[in-house]
Structure 1
Amino acid sequence: MALEKLVPVLLAFAGGVLLARRKSVPAEASKAFSDYAFLFAVPCYLFGNIYASDLALLFDWRALGGYAAAAALAVTVVVLAAVAHGVREPRAVALRVMAGVQVNTAYFAVPVFITVFGTAAPIFPVLLFQVCVLSLVIISLMELGRPGSEADGPGRRLSRAVGASLATPLVLACNAAIVLNLLSVHVPAVVLDAAAFVGDSASPVALFALGLHLGGLGLDLRGTTREEWALIGFKCLAFPLLTWFVCGVLLGVGGQWLAYLVLIAAMPTPQNLFVFAQRYDVGVDLSASLVIKSSLAALVLLPLWLHVVAA
C-alpha cells in the first residue's frame, strides 16, 4: 500500500526523464522549473497547510526537542566528516548537511504516514523545524558561499547571509503562517484557495525538474561514489538509529511519538536538495544522484523500519 501511494511521485519524475531523453523539453529547462518550485509553489503549499493546522495539538515538546537534538548531532557529524575529507567551501558543506539530515516530507513521508498511521499530522512539526531552523542554517551557509561575498568582512557577510535566508519566500511563508495562526488572524478563503491551487503544483513540478535534469545527465548505479554511499547510508540508516537512541533511550520518548520520529528520520533526502543545488549553483549532479538513490534505498529499507516502529 505504501508503495502504491508513491506512484504519482514516480510518474512525475519519469515524465521529466522521458521528455529529456526524447529532447522534447531541454534538460536545461529544469532550472526554471526548480526556481518556480523553490520561490513560489513550495512557499504557497507551506503557508496554507501550516496556517490551517491546529498547532497546539501537533507539538510534543519533549519528542520534538529530542528530534532537534538528534538532528544537531547529525549535522555535527556530517560537517566534521565533510571537512575531514577536504570539503571546505560553505555551499558544498551545507549541501551535504541537507543531504544527510533533512528528510523528504511532502513527497515521501506523507503517503507513508497516511498509509501506516491514517494521518500525516505528526509530520508538520518536524517540517516546521526543518524549514525554520535547518533550512535557515543551510541557506545562510549557501549565501555566505556566494561568489563575490569575500569582499566584505566576516560580520557583514554573516549578517547579510542571515538576512537573506530570513527573507527567502520559503522562510517568510512559514513564519507568516505561524504568526497568523497563533494570533487567530482571519485569512480570506480566496487567499487560502489560491495558495492551495499553486501549492498543489509544488511536488509534481519539483519532481518533473529533477527528472528533466537526470534525463539529460543519466544515472549509473554502478558509478555511485564512496561519498554518495556514505551520505545515503547515514541518511537512511545512521540518522534514524541516532534519533531512536537520543529520543527513546536518552530522553525516554515512547509510544507513537517515538515511532513517528524514527520513521520520519528514515525518510530519504528531500527533492529540495536538488532545488537548492540549482538555486545556488553547487553540486547539482551530486544532489540529483543523492535524491534518487536515497529514495531507492528508503523504499528497500521501508519494510524494516515499519517493523521496527511497530515493535
Structure 2
Amino acid sequence: MQGFCVIGIIIAIGYIAARCRVGGPTAQMVLNRFSYFVSTPCLMFALLSKEHLSDVFKPSIVVAILCAVITGAIFLALNAAFFRLKLADATIGVLISMFMNANNIGLPIATYILGDPAAVTPIVLIQGILFTPVALTMLDLSTKDTISVKAIVSQPLHQPILIGVLIGIATSAISDAAGWFVVPSYIYDPINIVGGSSVPLILMAFGMSLRNSKPFGEGADYVATITAALLKNAVMPIVAFLLAYFLMGFRGADLYACVVLAALPTAQNVYNYASRYEVGMRLARDGILVSTLSSPLFIFVIAWLLG
C-alpha cells in the first residue's frame, strides 16, 4: 500500500501542476522527452552497472520472459480476431498486457511483500534488453512511410534506453572481472542522481495527461483497454504460476515471488512510449489507469493464497 500511495501522490502532483498551468502547455511533452532521452537511460545504467550478472540471470528470468510473451501473444490473437487495432495501437495494447511496473511499484512490493528488493532485477533486465527494443522498433517502423532493412538494423542505435542498459551490463561485467567498480564516484554519482528523476518525471507527465481528459472518453476502445489490463493483472499471474510450478519446479518463496511480480500493474513507461510516437495515447493512459487501480486487489488475493 505504501508503494501504491507513493505512485498516486506523484501522479496527483503532476495533475495539480497541469491544473495550475505550471510549466505551460508543453510541460508534459518536455517531461516525457527528457525522461525518454536522458533520465531513463541514466537510471538503467545506474541500476545495472552495480548489479552482479550472477544475480541478474536467475532461473526466474525464464518465467518472467515466457509469461510476458504468452500474455502479449494472447492480446495479439484477440486483436486479430476482434479488436482490429492498427499495428502501432496494437503494439501499445501488447505492452499494456505484458509490461510490468518493476521500478516504482515493483521495488516497494519486492521490498515490503517479498523481502527481496533484487527480485525485480530480472524484470528490469528483460524489459530493457528484450521487450523495449522490440516494441520501440515496431512503433518506429509503424509510424514511418517506408520500412527498410537498414532502418531495422540501425534501430538499436536510436534507442537511448537500450544504450543505457547495454553500457550498464558491460560495466558490470568489466567490474566483476576487475574485482572492483571501475566507474569513479564523481562520474557515477551525477548519472545516478539524474537517473533518479526518471520515475517521478514519467509519473508527473502521466498525471498531467489526465488534465481535461476523462478516462474512457470519446473514442476510447473500452473492450480492448479492459482486456489488456485484465490480461496483465489476472491472466499473467496465472500463466506465471503454471510455468513456475510445473515447468521450473519452483515452490515456496520462489513460486510466490514469480506470481506476485507477474501481478504488477502496467508500467507508466508504456504511456511514455505512446506519447513519444504519438500513437495509442488514450489506450495507454486508460489501460495504465485500470491496471494500476485493480492491481492491488489481485496482489492481495495472491498474497492470501500463496503468502
Cα 1:180/1:276, change in 2 over 3 Å: same
Please report the TM-score for the alignment, with normalisation by the length of structure 1: 0.90
* Distance in 1 of aligned mates of 2:252 and 2:25: 46
1:32 aligns with 2:23: no
* Distance in 1 of aligned mates of 2:100 and 2:207: 19
Shift of residue 220 of structure 1? 5.5
Aligned residue pairs: how many?
301
Q: How is 1:36-47 mapped onto 2 (pairs within 5 angstroms)?
A: 36-47=34-45
Task: Check whether the contact 2:102–2:120 (CA below 8 A) recurs between aligned residues.
Answer: yes
Residue 4 (structure 2) aligns with = 6
Residue 171 (structure 2) aligns with = 180
1:195 aligns with 2:186: no
Q: How is 1:192-231 mapped onto 2 (pairs within 5 angstroms)?
A: 192-219=188-215, 225-231=222-228
Q: How is 1:1-311 mapped onto 2 (pairs within 5 angstroms)?
A: 3-26=1-24, 28-61=26-59, 63-87=60-84, 89-148=86-145, 150=146, 152=147, 156-157=148-149, 159-184=150-175, 186-219=182-215, 225-310=222-307
Shift of residue 166 of structure 1? 4.7
Task: Check whether the contact 2:216–2:222 (CA below 8 A) recurs between aligned residues.
Answer: no
* Distance in 2 of aligned mates of 1:202 and 1:276: 13
Identity of aligned residues (%): 20
State the Cα deviation string for residues 72-101 of structure 1 (Å, max 9, x = none): 222221211122235353322211111100
161-170 or 180-189: which moved more? 161-170
* Distance in 2 of aligned mates of 1:126 and 1:77: 20
Q: Give the partner amino acid of 1:123.
A: V
Q: Give the partner amino acid of 2:162.
A: V
Query: SS of the counterpart of 1:85?
Result: helix
Q: Give the partner amino acid of 2:121.
A: F
Note the residue ranges of structure 2 that are not aligned, 5 or more in a row. Answer: none
70-79 or 106-115: which moved more? 70-79
Shift of residue 286 of structure 1? 1.5
Note the residue ranges of structure 1 that are not aligned, 5 or more in a row. Answer: none
Q: Give the partner amino acid of 2:164.
A: A
* Distance in 1 of aligned mates of 2:32 and 2:261: 24
